[in-house]
């Protein structure tokens, strides 16, 4: 499996979070970029891991990490897509 991880949650009342998660996975799937979806709602340890990697104790999904390198959140992801720098953003280039 690829080192690219997308931290998400299957349990949220927030339509915004659901929509952002869907958009990230849709774009990655559309570009045939392999990733692992990590559901933080299954275990608090995963949520803490996501927040530690993001360097933000209040970070919310989606958060994107490649190996030990924190890539960014939804806003940074969308910015990279718009600027055609997704490969660099995901640390794949």
pLDDT at 93: 80
Domain spans of the chain, in order of start: 4-90
Q: Write the burial class of residue 84 (CB in 10 Å: 0-12 exposed, 13-18 middle, 19+ buried).
A: exposed
Model confidence over 54-82: pLDDT tens digits?
A: 999 999 999 999 998 999 999 999 999 99
How far apart are alpha carbons 34 and 7 in whole angstroms?
A: 14
Q: What is the pLDDT of residue 1?
A: 43
What is the pLDDT confidence band of residue 2, given thresholds at 50, 70 and 90?
low
User: 4-90 — its CATH code?
Assistant: 3.40.30.10
Task: Give me the mean pLDDT over the 3-32 stretch.
Answer: 97
- Please write the tens of the pLDDT for every residue from 20-46: 999 999 999 999 999 999 999 999 999
């Amino acid at each position: 499996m690829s080192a690219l991880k997308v931290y998400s949650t299957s349990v949220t009342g927030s339509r915004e979070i659901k929509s952002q998660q869907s958009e990230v996975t849709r774009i990655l799937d559309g570009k045939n970029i392999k990733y692992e979806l990590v559901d933080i709602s299954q275990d608090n340890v995963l949520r803490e891991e996501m927040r530690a990697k993001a360097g933000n104790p209040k970070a919310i999904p989606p958060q994107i990490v490649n190996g030990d390198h924190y890539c960014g959140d939804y806003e940074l992801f969308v910015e990279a897509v718009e600027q055609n720098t997704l490969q660099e953003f995901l640390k794949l280039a």
